Every structure is written in C-alpha cells, then in structure tokens.
Chains A and B, each alone.
Chain A
Amino acid sequence: MSASGMKQSRLAFWLFLAPVLGWLLLLIVLPHLDMLYMSLRSGSFSHPGWTLTNYQAFFEEPIYWLTFARTAGYAVITTAITLVLGLPVAFYIAKVVRPGLSGALMVLLLLPFWVSELVRVYGWMILLRESGVINFFLLRLGIIDTPIEMLYNDATMIMGLVYTSMLFMVVPLVSVMESLDDSLVEAAYDLGASRLCIWRTIIIPHSKPGITSGCIVVFMLSLGNYLTPNLMGGKNSLWFTEQIYNQFIASFNWNQGSAFGFLLLALSSVIVWAGLKLTRQKLGEVAS
C-alpha cells in the first residue's frame, strides 16, 4: 500500500492488530511463560519459592528420563518409517497415476485423517485385540490355534503412530512433487540416468522442503501424541505425555507437570530448529 493509502488505513491496521495481539500474547505467550514460572516454583506449601527440584526430579528418577528418551527415540523411528512409506505413495499420486485419478486418490488419502483419531485407534483395537477381527480370520483359516494379543506392545504402538501421522507426511510430499517439472526427470532419463540415480539426484533434492516439513510435523505429532500410546501401547505409562497427564490429573503436582511440559516443549523446539538448520529452511517457508 502506498504512502497516502497508508494514512487512511491506520484504523484498519489497529483493527487487524488488536485481535491478533490478543490471541498471541494472551493465549500463546502468557500461558507458556506461566508454565515456565510454575515449573520453577516449589509445589509444597511449607517451602514456597523458586526451586529447581522439579527438573532435578526428572534427572534423578530414571523412569522419567528413560521415558523421555524412549519417547524421543520412538518418535524418530516413527518419522523415519512414515517418510519411507510416504515417499513412494506421494510419488505415485503426483507423478505415476493418471492425472484425473490423482485428485481422487488425494481425497481418499485425506478422508481417514479427518475422522477423529479416537475412531481410527478404536478401529485398530477391534482389528488387533485378542478377540479382534484379524485373530478371528487367522483362527478360521487354521493358521493359529489360540488367539494372539497383538495390542499393547511397542511395535503396534509405532504402527499406530505411523498410521495417525501418515497424512502429514504425504500431503507436503505430494504438493512438492507436483511442482517438480516432468521435463527434469525426462532430461535425466534421456541423459542415461538410472531410476535410483534419478531419485537420488533429481527427486529427493527437489522434494527437500516437503520432506523437511513432513518430518517436522510427524515428529511433533508423535512426540505430543497421547491417545495412541495410551490405548495401543503397553499399560504402564511409558510415553512422556502420559507422565505429564499423570502429574497433572492423577498426582495433581502441577509444578512437576509444568517442568515435564517445558522439557517436552524444549525437545520439540530443538528438534524442529535443528531440522530447519540442517536443511537451511525457515519455518515460514515450511509452513506455507
């Protein structure tokens, strides 16, 4: 907007700014500062004041930091599996299937993810549990004699996490691959490149922004997931969000819970930041 246009729009500017500032300051900045504050306060009524005991507890109690490390590690594994599965699917939709069909496939791809995560996890539960549909068929076909409990183990939990976050990998990958000019692949082919070589030198480098944003989002979602580990994983609260929940809701130790929350936030921020740094991208670019 030009200089004289600006003069007139001062009012408009403030009208736009006010709700946005209200949103970001009151609902994003303030709560997280409060969380930081809480995490540094003592929970006991006898000795109120500043303290680091909440963080100390995290490092001293192996169950806490082991869960933390386990959560981070499994989130990384989930991200890697999602990427490996997502790349060919995205490539198929963007470049292999007939253009008319790719739109329909995209809609099919999106559909399950708009259904509540709870419904999806529930679907897996009735498929996999001891009295579940898969056990029913395996028994019928005589492959097994006694039903197997397929729920409540780490592999199933990871599968559930992959399933839950798949979309957030495939969608950015499809959009970035659609922007790849076919003639680049044709040129490489024409110049004698093999399939592997085309993937390595053309497709993967071109898809980097999509891969980055997909990985960041999937990692984030897995790290912060509560439902899937809780319902599909083991019963003993070994996902870090469950620890946070326990502190808040079961033990009612908000200070300890805040410290855990802040640690999780720090971990996810550091990983996102590192991912962006490694690929030399900006959050703004990845988001759009």
Chain B
Amino acid sequence: MIRSLPNGRPYIWSFNLFVLLYFVFLFAPLVVTCVLAFNNSDFPSLPWHGFSLDWFLSPGPDRVGVFHDSQNLRAIVTSVETAVCVSALSVLVGTCASFLFEQEEFRFKGALYMLMLAPLVIPGVILGISQLLAANSVGAFLEDTVGWDVEWLRPSFWLVVIGQFSFIATFVTLVVSARLRKFDRSLEEAALNLGANRFEVIRYITLPFLRPAIVGAAAVSFLMSFENFNTTLFLVGSEPTLPINLYLQVRDGSTPVINSISFLLIVGTSILVLFNVYLGRKDGER
C-alpha cells in the first residue's frame, strides 16, 4: 500500500508500469518534437534522413533556420520583453497585496481577498475579451471627452502586458503570502524594539525573508507570461508574442523551424524550472 507496508510484487510492478506509461505519455510529444528538430528533412515527420542543424543555423533561402528567421526572432524578443514587464509588475503589486492581506486589518478585507482570487476562476479567454472591451471603452471615452488618442489602449504590447498582469499578480500574491504566513512576527517586533521604523522593518527584515518566494514568483510569472496564449490572443497588436506567432504558423501548415523553436523553448524552460527548484531546495534548508 505505502512504503512502510508489505506490498506484493505484482502490485508494485503494475504500479511502476502505470507510472512509467504515464511519464511516456507526458514526454512523448516533447521528445518527438525535439528529435525532429534535428532531422535533415523539409517536413517535421519521419523517416529519419540524418542529423542536421539546418533548422537552427541555415540562412536560407530553402531552409531558414530559427536564428535567421527574423519574424520568429522578433516574436521571441517581444515575448521576453512582455514577460519581463509582466513579472516585474506582478511581483511589485503581488508583494504589496501579500502585505496587505497578511499584515493589515481593514474593513472589506474578506471581500477584497475574494476579488483577488477571482482571476483564478475566470477563464483566460474571458479575461482577454473583457480587457479588450474595457480598454476600448476607456480609449473611446478619452477620445470623446478629452480628445486624447491613447495608442496603447488598442490591441498592443502594453495591453498584452496589462492583460497578463491582471491574473499573474494573483499567483504572485498566493506564493508570497504563503511564505509571509510563515514569518515570525516577533522578528518585526524585535526590529521595532531595536529602533527600526515600519519601512526599515520591511526593508531589512521582511523582504530578505521573502526573497526566495519573490524570486520564485518572478520566475513563475515569467514562464506564465511567456507561454500565455488565451488572454494574449485578444489583446495582441502588430507585434505578436511567440505563442501567437507559432499558432499562426501551425495553423497554416508547419515546417521544422517550429520544432527547433520548440526545442529552444523546452531547453530554456527546463533551465528556468530547475533553477527555481534549486532555489526552493535552498529555501527548504534554511
């Protein structure tokens, strides 16, 4: 049954097999995608024609490798810029929210907390269209009343940032709050007692304590933003993010360059995830 109880061999082996199959199911599409990125073929499919780096390095004109594919490269840059902005904004506001909900008492706190959780149960598509509508309404309002034509209230880079931020901040709040809840409030009192004011307490005591959670939340925000599709779909303007750009390519028929981009994404993501896990371990040792 569990580790400490005697288990029959068939039980253990069938369980092992089940979990093995599960992991095969989990990794099969990724592994196949990565492998086919190196196939010397014009199509992302078997048979295997030999190893090739064409879909990474070839400058064209027949095969354009990802490092020469300006459109995809631009999408990657856009995605990175978006993710950096979103995670910075989310960490800032999410940390404020954690302090607000964990350390302050005020009326309507419960209601505001529920509102903070709302993005968890709002489908991403809905979040996208509602942001689009609101931005459009506000833009129209500003143009009608003040005569301003606010560029970024139309589908654009900043609208994507705002849309993604609106739900990623909730995840940051939850991660940082969980750590803040473990914080020993007597450390704050000790710091006050030693002459620190409220901001010095936060600066020297609370924030250093929260740092692992904040760094972890930033990494998670980055990934969430980088891979977001549903919300971004409605808000994206003339500069598509990578998932949007890939979607357009996949829909219109695929070339192995998508595989090579996927390979880079998988490797990059793995590094970020392992880095996050390493941080978590270090945090656990404290």
Q: Determine if B45 and A126 form an interchain contact, defined as CB atoms under 8 angstroms apart.
A: yes
> How does the 8 Å CB contact mask read for A216-241 relative to B, with 1 for contact and 0 for none?
11001101111100010000000001
Contact B26 A227 (CB under 8 A): no
Residue of A nearest to B119 (CB): A28
Looking at the assembled complex, report how far the CB atom of A287 sits from the nearest CB atom of chain B, in whole angstroms.
5
Among the stretches B52-60, B66-74, B143-151, B250-258, the one at the interface with A is B250-258
Binary per-residue interface labels of chain B (241-279) against chain A in the complex, 1 for a CB within 8 Å, 0 otherwise: 011001100110010001100100110011011100100
Q: Taking A89-B22, A118-B243, A265-B122 as contacts, is the C-beta distance between A111 and B270 under 8 angstroms?
A: yes
CA distance A88 to B20 in the complex (A): 12
Given the known interface contacts A95-B3, A114-B272, A123-B29, the answer about A31 and B131 at a Cβ–Cβ threshold of 8 Å is: yes
* A209→B45 CA distance, assembly (Å): 43
Residue of A17, A24, A118 ringed by the most chain B CB atoms within 10 A = A118
| A20 and B93 in contact, given A112-B26, A195-B1 (Cβ under 8 angstroms) | yes
Shortest B250–chain A CB gap in Å is 6
Distance of A19 Cα from B91 Cα, bound (Å): 12
Q: Across the interface, do A122 and B250 meet the contact criterion of CB distance under 8 Å?
A: yes
- Do A116 and B265 have beta carbons less than 8 Å apart? yes
| In the complex with contacts A12-B199, A268-B122, A268-B123, A27-B165 CB distance below 8 A | yes
> Is the C-beta of B218 less than 8 angstroms from some C-beta in chain A?
no
**Cα distance, A265 to B36, chains bound together (Å):** 40
Flag if A133 contacts B125 (CB, 8 Å): no
A30 at the interface (CB under 8 A from B): yes
Give the docked Cα–Cα distance between A47 and B73 (Å): 47
Question: Is B250 touching A244 in the complex (CB atoms < 8 A)?
Answer: no
Task: Report the minimal beta-carbon distance from B220 to chain A, rounded to whole angstroms.
Answer: 9
- Nearest first, the 6 closest Cβ-Cβ pairs linking A and B are A224-B123, A123-B29, A31-B130, A31-B134, A116-B227, A27-B166
Judge if A150 is at the interface, Cβ distance under 8 Å: no
Contact A220 B43 (CB under 8 A): no
In the complex, chain B residues whose CB is within 8 Å of the CB of A35: 126, 129-130, 133-134
Task: Name the residue of chain A whose CB is nearest to the CB of B170.
Answer: A287
Contact A127 B134 (CB under 8 A): no
Give the interface residue-count category, chain B: 35 or more
- In angstroms, Cα B178 to Cα A13, docked, is 20
Q: Which residues of A contact B28 (CB under 8 A)?
A: 123, 127
Q: Considering only CB atoms, which chain B residue lies closest to A5 in the complex?
A: B192
Is B238 an interface residue, CB under 8 A from the partner? Answer: no
Q: Is A32 an interface residue (CB 8 A)?
A: yes
B210 in the interface, Cβ–Cβ < 8 Å? no
Apart from A244-B129, A284-B117, list 20 A-B contacts with CB within 8 A: A12-B199, A23-B93, A24-B112, A38-B133, A96-B15, A109-B26, A111-B269, A111-B270, A116-B243, A117-B227, A119-B246, A126-B36, A136-B45, A185-B2, A189-B5, A217-B120, A231-B247, A231-B250, A265-B126, A287-B174
Instruction: Give the chain B neighbours of A155 by CB distance below 8 A.
Output: none
Name B5-30 residues within 8 Å CB distance of A.
5, 12, 15, 18-19, 22-23, 25-30
Contact of A224 among B2, B117, B124, B174 (CB under 8 A): B124
Give bound CA distance, A277 to B14, whole Å: 37
Tell me if B104 counts as interface (CB < 8 A to partner A): yes
* A85-112 near B? 1/0 per residue, CB < 8 Å: 1001100100111110000010111111
Q: List 6 A-B contacts (CB under 8 A).
A: A19-B92, A20-B112, A32-B130, A112-B27, A115-B266, A257-B129
A101 to B81, CA, bound (A): 37
The yes or no answer to A46 lying at the interface (CB within 8 A) is no
Q: How far is the CB of A95 from chain B (nearest CB, A)?
A: 4
Cβ–Cβ < 8 Å partners of B77 in chain A: none
CB-CB contacts below 8 Å: A108-162 with B: 108-112, 114-127, 131-133, 136-137
| Residues 145-181 of chain A, each 1 if its beta carbon lies under 8 Å from chain B, else 0 | 0000000000000000001001000000000000000
Once the chains bind, are A88 and B18 in contact (CB under 8 Å)?
Answer: yes
Q: Which residues of B contact A111 (CB under 8 A)?
A: 269-270, 273
Shortest C-beta distance, B158 to chain A (Å), equals 13
